Chains A and B, each alone.
Chain A
Amino acid sequence: MHDPSTTISLVFLTAVAFTGSAVTIASLRHRPASQQPQRVLVLLLTAGCAALFFYRTMFVHKGWMPLTAHVDGLVMITTLAGAAMIFLQSPARMPGISAFGMPLLTVLLLWAICASRWTLDLFHIDTVLKSVHLLAVYLGALFIVMAAIAGGMFLYGQGRLRRKKAPTAGVPFANLESIERAIVRTSILGFTVLTVGLVTGLVIVSSRPGADPAWWVSGKLVLTFVVWSIYAMVMNLRFAVAFRGARAAWMSIVGIVLLMITFGLASALSRDASVPPPADAPARKSIDISEAVAGPCIPPEVR
């Protein structure tokens, strides 16, 4: 049920995000006469994604249930991240965030184009737990995205200070302490929410009727658990060796890379044969929640 309007809209929004990336990155080097073009582009992107999300919910799926497919999740993350950037980019909060947020949103939108064009498989949501699971996974991913944006900002800001560059040159930029605080808070929130997503996913898989006792021996689940463990270790280690400065910044960037790898690899692994499809599954093509969470952007013939 490929919707051409969705793909076309996503292509347009990706172009906006790409333009915004170019403008905001250029402003880091040369102070522009006005910040207005950047703000307009971020606003346009956010409004466009919100409109697309609403359109898909009301007119494509014709229901009140959002997150009906992976592309919806990606559009939701982009919308919320854009809204966060609009709020944070004022000089009093975290100026300069757009320069690091827009490229990442461009990547997310490119991913969404893939998800809308090749792998538009609908989620089979029939319980509240499954909705909670999906929401937790995507919101957790959102926080990890924001942490990575802050991590990039920290490394750039620190680099400027190491190069002894005059503070008033270029566009106003957030201070390192604020950025570091943002990394820590968004990482904690992301980890917490992703943990909720993982736990609910485990409950869903284990409580499926007719599930194999060895249901947990699944490539996707093992990989997801390993990545979660790495996160858990880092979150606890921060109290021991101080999750600070460039270390925290690099970890937040590694975090999003791990998240993307997990998503990609989990979808590349075949569906777990010990988990038969539900008996009451509708005839139309649908996939398990756990696979939907992986959000594949891999053409079906490769999977």
Chain B
Amino acid sequence: MRILMLGANHRTAPLDLREKLALGGQSLHDAMDRLTNRFPLAEMVVLSTCNRTELYVARASHESPTFDELGEALSDLSGVDTQRLGAVTIQRENEGAVTHLFRVACGLDSMVLGEPQILGQVKRAYDLAISHKSVGMVLHTVFQQALTCAKQVRAQTGIDRGRISVGSVAVDFARQIFATFRNKIVVGIGAGEMAKLILKHLKALEPARLWVTNRSFNKACDLAAQIGLSTQQGGARAFADLDELLVEADIVLSSTGSREPIVSAQGFGPLLRRRRRRPLFLIDIAVPRDVESTVGTFSNVYLYNLDDIQQVLENTRQNRHHELGCCEQMVCDHVRSTMTQIRQRDLGKLIQQLRKKLHDLGRSEQQRTLRKLASAAPERAGDILEEGTQRLVNKILHLPLSKLDLHHNDAPLGFYTAALRRLFDLEGVAEGGGPIVEKKESDPRPQIVTRPLSMMKDESHTP
């Protein structure tokens, strides 16, 4: 059994190409149908996210698809020509493919190390393949182990700990201050892109009200519309109401383009008394800063600027990188046990097939011998049985020995020789057709029988 992976990701392909390769929704379902029709004997899972599109295939050795065929299939699905595709795709096989999948599921191959979304995406890809009945025993094992490995890595290391975006860091700090947000008022000052992103995070906390204010009231209204504020949730307020907003607010996000601070310590002092010392969380992501730093020294006022938040993000990145070695070791261990499991299953099937084949041979010879015995004289029974046994042994040996091509330069004779020696316990045979040391059960003393190798092979052809 072979496991193949062919795909492109954020490391190998530029964004425009990844956009063309990306499959989602109905196009992903159609792609699965087309691939399973094209390669009916192969197991298949397609993982497609904004940063990667990868095909995972398990098939019998010497069956299709090959990497070239997979490349052509991907080219047909995406409309990207095979040559261009070949330059940006990576190929992995067997242990390499499994390792790649496990690293992807653990978030070790993501653009943001340890990001948690990829685990859900891998699971959804696996579930979709199951629904299309394109997953067999091998990919079931591989994907289930990948999910287990990812969960274990996340539980036992800090690879996914900490926040990776400004908005989520701001929300985390807010959660350290406030127990609930349902009775809280959020105020956004300014209307930039970053403000919009962070306000979306804060809106998700479902505060009592979310007000947006800006020197330009129209921009404030636009921003309120962009973040989807209903009239019950809040809306735009005039910039002249800033003092009142600072008295009402529990969380303030400031992101204006002002060259001078818009909230000074002198102006804020009287407002603090009116607030009756309610805690205030101030996020100032403007450069130059909108809030004087001394405002952060007031009682119950918690002021964070962009540097503070970036420092948290940087600490998160460093902590995750420290965990990388441990994660890679866990992935290695899981890959090893998964491959062992797959090989043992393959071997089990192989042994079953071998037994069946040999039993079939044995049964046909048995029938023939019984027919001869029935029609022959009793004194001939011994000869007939010996003849039958010889024939059976020769037929069994004919199967492997007929594949040994002594005249083929590329035949891995050394490998076959070692395998035969090992599998049939012929450790006493010297290299180059030396004497064979045989042991008989009746006589444990080793008996030396001299027979050249070529004669042994010829004997196997004797009917």
**Cα–Cα distance between A247 and B300 once the two chains are bound (Å):** 10
Residues on B with beta carbons closer than 8 Å to the beta carbon of A177 = 177-180, 279
Q: Are B300 and A161 in contact (CB under 8 A)?
A: no
Give the interface residue-count category, chain A.
20 to 34
Residues on A with beta carbons closer than 8 Å to the beta carbon of B173 = 161, 167
Of B136-144, B227-235, B309-317, B322-330, the one contacting chain A is B309-317
Q: Are A166 and B316 in contact (CB under 8 A)?
A: yes
**Cα–Cα distance between A245 and B299 once the two chains are bound (Å):** 8
Q: Are A166 and B304 in contact (CB under 8 A)?
A: no
Contact with A along B5-24 (1 / 0, CB 8 A): 00000000000000000000
Q: Are B308 and A175 in contact (CB under 8 A)?
A: no
In the complex with contacts A161-B177, A175-B179, A246-B299, A168-B279 CB distance below 8 A: no
Residues on A with beta carbons closer than 8 Å to the beta carbon of B395 = none
Residues on B with beta carbons closer than 8 Å to the beta carbon of A61 = none
Residues on B with beta carbons closer than 8 Å to the beta carbon of A175 = 175-179
Instruction: Name A's interface SS.
Output: helix
Residues on B with beta carbons closer than 8 Å to the beta carbon of A173 = 176
Shortest C-beta distance, A94 to chain B (Å), equals 10
In the complex with contacts A164-B304, A168-B162, A244-B277, A176-B177 CB distance below 8 A: yes
Q: Are B179 and A166 in contact (CB under 8 A)?
A: no
Residues on A with beta carbons closer than 8 Å to the beta carbon of B311 = 164
In the complex with contacts A242-B276, A245-B277, A247-B299, A164-B308 CB distance below 8 A: yes
Q: Are B277 and A168 in contact (CB under 8 A)?
A: no
Contact with B along A115-155 (1 / 0, CB 8 A): 00000000000000000000000000000000000000000
Q: Are B175 and A244 in contact (CB under 8 A)?
A: no
**Cα–Cα distance between A168 and B178 once the two chains are bound (Å):** 15
Say whether B161 faces chain A, with CB atoms less than 8 Å apart: yes
Say whether B163 faces chain A, with CB atoms less than 8 Å apart: yes
Say whether A157 faces chain B, with CB atoms less than 8 Å apart: yes
**8 Å CB interface, B313-345 against A:** 315-316
Say whether B123 faces chain A, with CB atoms less than 8 Å apart: no
A239 and chain B: residue at smallest CB distance: B276
In the complex with contacts A175-B175, A175-B178, A177-B179, A166-B315 CB distance below 8 A: yes
Q: Are A164 and B176 in contact (CB under 8 A)?
A: no
Residues on B with beta carbons closer than 8 Å to the beta carbon of A181 = 179
B interface size (C-beta, 8 A)? 27
**Cα–Cα distance between A175 and B308 once the two chains are bound (Å):** 19
Residues on A with beta carbons closer than 8 Å to the beta carbon of B169 = 166-167
Say whether B76 faces chain A, with CB atoms less than 8 Å apart: no
* A166, A169, A177: residue with the most chain B Cβ atoms closer than 10 Å: A166
**Cα–Cα distance between A64 and B78 once the two chains are bound (Å):** 83
Q: Are A167 and B175 in contact (CB under 8 A)?
A: yes
A166 interface neighbour in B299, B300, B302, B312, Cβ under 8 Å:
B312
Shortest C-beta distance, A136 to chain B (Å), equals 30
**Cα–Cα distance between A227 and B112 once the two chains are bound (Å):** 58
Shortest C-beta distance, A294 to chain B (Å), equals 36
Residues on B with beta carbons closer than 8 Å to the beta carbon of A167 = 169, 172-173, 175-176
Say whether B278 faces chain A, with CB atoms less than 8 Å apart: yes
Q: Are A245 and B176 in contact (CB under 8 A)?
A: no
Q: Are A168 and B161 in contact (CB under 8 A)?
A: yes
A177 and chain B: residue at smallest CB distance: B179
Q: Are A161 and B176 in contact (CB under 8 A)?
A: yes
Say whether A162 faces chain B, with CB atoms less than 8 Å apart: yes
Q: Give 17 A-B contacts (CB < 8 Å), ordered by A residue.
A: A160-B176, A161-B176, A162-B302, A164-B304, A166-B169, A167-B172, A168-B161, A168-B172, A173-B176, A175-B175, A175-B176, A175-B178, A176-B177, A176-B279, A244-B276, A245-B277, A246-B299
* Residues of A that sit less than 8 Å from B by CB: 31, 33, 157, 160-162, 164, 166-169, 173, 175-178, 181, 241-242, 244-247
A sample of 20 more A-B contacts (CB under 8 A), given A167-B175, A176-B176, is: A31-B158, A157-B176, A161-B177, A164-B308, A166-B172, A166-B312, A167-B169, A167-B172, A167-B173, A169-B162, A175-B177, A175-B179, A176-B177, A177-B179, A177-B180, A177-B279, A178-B179, A242-B277, A245-B300, A246-B300
